[in-house]
Each structure stands twice: as C-alpha cells, then as structure tokens.
Chain A
Amino acid sequence: MSNDDDTPKTAAEAAGSPLKRAKSPAKSSGEAQERGTSASAGEIEGEVLRRSNMAPDVPATVRPRRKVGRRAPVQSDVTESQEQAHLTRPSDEDGTHFLPESYYGDDEPLSIREEKFAELQVAGLFTLATLASLWTCVAYFIVPEHQRLGQLMNYSLGGGLAVALLALGAGFVLWAKKLLPHDKAVQERHAMHSPEEEELLAEETFFKGFTSTGLGSRKMLRRSLLGIVAVLPLPALVLLKDLGPLPTKKLRNNGWRAGQRLVDATTRQPVKLGDLEIGGIKTVMPEGFTTPDQYALSPTMLIRFGPDEIRSKKELAWSKFDHVAYSKICTHAGCPISLYEQQTHHLLCPCHQSTFDMANDANVIFGPAARRLPQMQLDVDSDGYFVVKQPYEVPVGPSFWERG
C-alpha cells in the first residue's frame, strides 16, 4: 500500500490495526491494553508519526499528535508504510469526517517533576486503599457490634470498604489521566445501505418464495391457515380463568350485621355512649371480628360531633346523640382513612388526598374518590353500648365492575 492510500477500505482492514499492534513487540507496554481498542489506532498513529520525523516522505496531512514520548520508540517488524495506511488523517472527500481541526491539537507534555508528583499521587491513593481494606478487617473484630443499633459498626465496615474502593478507582483514573499517553483516534465506518443489485436480488427472492408457497392459488390451504391463526389465541384467553374465582357476593359482605356491638379496634372493648368527647374519634370493628375479610372491609370511624354540627338531614337521621359511623375504607383505592380534622370536619385520605366532608354525608370535596363514604345507622342498646341499627347499604371500599 502506498502513502496516498490513507483511508482503510474495509472494516477488516481497519480492525486489523489493533491486531497488528498486539502482534507488534514494539507496543508491549501495559498502558496500551488499558486504553481499549478505540484508542489503539491513535496510539499507533502517534508511534508512526513520531517516526515520521525521521521519514521525510510522509504526506503533509500527517501531523504529529502524540504529546509526550516517555519511551524511545522501538523498531517494529511491521513496516512503516503498512501502519501509515490506517493511521494517517482520513481524507474528507465524502464529507464523513467532521472532526474540527482543533481536535488534533496537542496537549502540553508533563515535566519530569509533574510526572513524579502524579506518580506519588497515584501510589498514595493505592496505599490509602490498602490501609482502608485492612481497617475494614480489623474493625470487624474491634468495633462494638451493638452500640447505637450497630451504627458504629455500619460506619466502620461500610466506610472502610467505600474508602478502599473509591481510592483504588480514583488512583486508576489519575493514572490514566496523567501518566498514560493521550492520543486521538479516528475509527472508520462504512455506509449503512447495501449495494443496489443486492437489494433487488433480495426483493426478487422474497416474491419468488411467496409464489412458490402457493398461498395465492391454493384456497383450501389459505383458509385453513387463517382458521388456526384465528383460534390459536383462544387457549390463552381461556387460561385467564385461573386468575381466580369471581368475588361474587364477597365484596358486598363487610362483616357488619344489624344489632352488633361496636368494639375498639385495638382493645376489643365495646364502645359505650359517652366514651367519646365532642370532637373525638375512634376506629371500631364488629364485635368478635376475626377473619381477614373483616380486617379488610369492616374498619369503621365513629365520630362525635358537637350539637348542631351535622349539616345533612340524612346523616342526622342515621346518627345517634351526635355520633356517626362511616366506613374507614376510602372509596378510591381502599386505603384506611382517619386523618380527621375536628374543626373543619374534613377527613383526608393520605394515599391520594381525597377529602370527605364528614358533617355533610361524607361527600367528596377534593381528590380522585368518586363516591362518598358509606354510612352505618347507629343505635344505643339498653346497656348504653353502641350497636348497629342498619349496616352499610352499599359495598364499602373501591368501586368494582359488578358494583352497580
């Protein structure tokens, strides 16, 4: 190859350069491997260009790009002209080489002093990493394990390992930045589309193949194929049945029956008239609650209002001595809600900020909930305990398809 032939013609040719470099005993230094293949062409380029000072027949477009030569170039068994073929500045004829001229600018070489200092920095970081690793091992044995919930141990082990890995990484980066040679590389690529005759050939092959299947002329074949294509997805649909039995009436049964006493959700003590002060609330459950369904659907808010604070006639009719009972399960996504503000009578759902006006039928005044909270009709039995006069008329909790 001549010097004029300065662009690689094929990918194999371009990819050949690192290969050659690897074969070349001249570039046996460990640095070259650190840089990876994308930089390798440039490295060799620098090598070549350094030599080009001694070889006056190198074209004018070739400029020295290597910033510092710490080692004397070693003669390789690859001839100069072979290397130069791939490593000189590519021509700009096809407009694909858009790197600005400044990209090829040279960096200032480091002085011997600066290099020594950089080496010291890297070695220092590696030593720090070593010490931190050793500290981690020692800390495992000497740091008290249970002090402040193990916080001290956390810091010692985690901190030691973090310092070790960070210092090691930082050392590598500094090494690469300051001590390794910085050369630029240009990797060649080919145009992405195939030649026209290949495209035509592919098209022809495709249509020839379609005709030979006979799908166009054999009606029976075609129809039976369409049949199986249409039926094949059905088994997948049928298998969806395994997603579980339909809830049927389960979602409508919320665990409350008429006449049942209301008990405290934590202590399970029945709630008596007078247990709540004005502005007081309590989470109540049906007496004797046990099942998971009851835990999920039964929670109810018992609220005591001040006199004349209930604004809705219907709510007032279902209350008992200013006490009202509403489902605690949000009608939007089923979160339990009892963020009750006793002055504004707002009940806020913490999940999506649905806000209910508890003094006015628990109507939604803000947020994504679509329905008001269901109310339960209250009564007080002869012993003074709260009982259910009429349980929730509608299913509690979020909406579902069959809710109606």
Chain B
Amino acid sequence: MSPSTFTARLAGRRRRAAGLAVIVVCLGLLTLVYAAVAPRGSAAGTTDPNVAAGRALFEKYSCASCHGMNAEGGQRAPSLIGVGAAAVDFQMSTGRMPLQHHGAQAPRHPPVASEAEIQQIGAFVQSLGGGPEVPDVSGWQKSDVAFGGALFRTNCAQCHNFVGSGGALTYGRYAPSLAKATPTEIYEAMVTGPENMPVFGDKTITPDQKLAIINYVKSVQHEANPGGAGLGRIGPVSETLVGILVGLGLAVLATLWLGTRA
C-alpha cells in the first residue's frame, strides 16, 4: 500500500466522520431547541408521575368514555383541554363528576374519587393545555365580609339567592344551593364557570374580592335561623306558604275539635 493511497483513504474516512459529527450536533441542537420551544409539561414528554397516574385514573373512572381518550371532548361531553385542574377539582370533589346519569344538570353528590386521585386527574388535565390551577384560598377569614356581601348581591345573588339558597333557571336547570360549598369550591366555581354558570375570572373579580365573597357565603352558612326553621331560606314565599297551610290547617283542626260533641 502506497502512502498516497493511505492518506487518501484516511481523508475519506475523516470526511465521513465529519459529516456524521455535523448530523449529531444538528440533532442535538434540534432537541435543545424543541425542549425550549415545546409547551412545558406536555403529556407526551412529561416525567411527572402524577400525570401518568391521572391518565390511568381518567380511564378507570370512565371519564374517557364521554370526554374522549385524550380529553378532546365528544358528542356528550365538552373538551377538557384548557379547563385546568380547578375545574377537575370542583366537578369531582362535589361529586358532580363522574356523571351518575344524564339530565338537565349534574346534582351535588358525595365524591366518588379520593382527594389524592382527584389531584392526579387534575394534574393530567392541567398537563393537556393549562387553565386555572386549584386556588389557594388561605386567609379568606381575614377578608371584608360586608364588601363580600355587596359583591355577592351584585354578581351572584341573582341566581344563587341573597343567602346562597340557590334558585331555578330555564328548562330544568338551576343554580345550586351554596349551603355545603367549601371555600375552595366557591373560588373554583367562579374561575371555571361550571355548566351554565358564567366565568368570573381573576380580572372580573379580583382574588381579594373572591376571598371576600367566600367569607360572606361562609358567614351566612353558619348563621342561625331565629325563627327555628330556615324554610329553605328563600324569604317570605315559603314562610307565607307554611303559615297558610300549617297555621290555617291547625286552626281548622282546632275548630273541628271545638265543634265535636263530647
């Protein structure tokens, strides 16, 4: 083998190696760029064990049968992309989801999934397209309850009644009673707008104002009924009805007793 042929062969090998090196470097750069540009926490690329567990639970609780395998929504249920963990936490911790049967509206039930499971499903849904996170409601006790009452009467009372007793809407739908609502649930309902409730984002009603509303709702929840029975706390309508039916009924019975012969 002549030296000239050796060097030529060496040069050819070097060229091949250089080409390979360029490709490797380019691929490496591409990965870095992708990692920087791609949405963080994407379901495909994530390593969060909560998300994986949430995806499994998403199928276990048959969420996927209505909302689709990738929560993309379907004929019977909306897409969950972008609704956030707050919506999951609200719907599942109030037992509205998983849906028990189809109707005008999902009623409140004891929750089916555990708190940890709800958190995992929330992490999965959050990973799909962001949305409101489960809010931190600490410190609501320190907020201005009177201001909260004013905000409640302007923004909430039209449907939920002035003390949160709920009320009817159109075609069998209704605004539920807030008697059992927790501070977190109230906050979540405002930011996510479950079912037909309008959305009250943090710019429409600021977080401080939301805490004040929570304080008002909690304060009326624990208020005593001076008459003994709240009668649904819907004001003079039920009070009059009971007054007429029960009061007059008793008066009639008493009259009958007076009229009977001994």
Binding site for B on A (CB under 8 A): 107, 148-151, 154-155, 173, 177-178, 182, 265-267, 272, 274-283, 303, 336-344, 346, 348, 350, 355, 366
Contact = CB atoms under 8 A, between A and B. Distances in A.
Contact of B159 (A266, A339, A344): A339
A348 to B, nearest CB: 5
Given A278-B199, A279-B199, A281-B198, A150 B158 contact: no
B9 interface: no
Interface string B202-237: 011000010000000000000111111000000000
14 contacts: A151-B226, A182-B261, A182-B262, A266-B150, A266-B155, A276-B199, A276-B201, A280-B204, A281-B198, A282-B155, A341-B173, A346-B169, A348-B170, A355-B170
Interface in B131-176: 150-151, 154-155, 158-159, 167, 169-171, 173, 175
Given A274-B203, A275-B203, A341-B169, A154 B226 contact: yes
B167 A342 contact: no
B154 A265 contact: yes
B228 A366 contact: no
A113 B151 CA distance: 71
B194 to A, nearest CB: 10
B258 A338 contact: no
B254 to A, nearest CB: 9
A336 B261 contact: no
Contacts of A279: 193, 198-199
B257 A280 contact: no
Which range contains the number of B residues in contact with the other chain?
20 to 34
A9 B47 CA distance: 111
A280 B197 CA distance: 9
A282 B204 contact: yes
Provide the main secondary structure of the chain A interface.
mixed
Interface in B28-61: none
Contacts of A276: 199, 201, 203-204
Which of B204, B227, B261 has the most chain A CB atoms closer than 10 A to its own CB?
B204
Contacts of A266: 150-151, 154-155
A173 B158 contact: no
Contacts of A278: 199
Contacts of B239: none
B193 A342 contact: yes
Nearest to A148: B224
Interface of B: 150-151, 154-155, 158-159, 167, 169-171, 173, 175, 193, 195-201, 203-204, 209, 223-228, 257-258, 260-262
Nearest to A272: B203
A248 to B, nearest CB: 31
A337 B257 CA distance: 49
A83 B185 CA distance: 84
Chain B at the A interface: mostly helix, strand, loop or mixed? loop
B127 to A, nearest CB: 21
B226 A339 contact: no
A148 B193 CA distance: 35
A274 B193 CA distance: 17
Contact of B158 (A177, A182, A336, A343): A336
Contact of A154 (B167, B198, B227): B227
B154 A283 contact: yes
Nearest to B154: A266
B201 A344 contact: no
Contacts of A178: 262
Contacts of A338: 158
A342 B197 contact: yes
A220 to B, nearest CB: 61
A158 B233 CA distance: 21
Residue picked from B167, B196, B225, most chain A C-beta under 10 Å? B196
B196 A280 contact: no
B250 to A, nearest CB: 11
Highest count of chain B CB atoms <10 Å: which of A150, A173, A278, A281: A281
Given A173-B257, A350-B158, A277 B167 contact: no
Nearest 7 CB-CB pairs, A to B? A177-B262, A341-B196, A277-B201, A277-B199, A281-B198, A279-B199, A280-B199
A339 B160 CA distance: 9
Given A277-B193, A338-B158, A342-B198, 18 more contacts: A107-B262, A148-B226, A150-B226, A177-B262, A178-B262, A267-B209, A274-B203, A276-B203, A280-B201, A283-B155, A339-B158, A341-B170, A342-B196, A342-B199, A344-B170, A346-B169, A350-B167, A366-B170
Nearest to B151: A266
Name, among B158, B200, B209, the residue most crowded by chain A CB atoms within 10 Å (CB to CB): B158
A343 B195 contact: yes
A173 B258 contact: yes
Contacts of A340: 198
A272 B261 CA distance: 78
Nearest to B167: A350
A337 B158 contact: yes
B196 A344 contact: yes
A344 B175 CA distance: 14
Contacts of B195: 343
Given A150-B226, A154-B226, A266-B151, A348 B169 contact: yes
Contacts of B257: 173
B228 A155 contact: yes
A279 B196 CA distance: 9
A283 B228 CA distance: 36
A280 B262 contact: no
Given A149-B224, A182-B262, A343 B203 contact: no
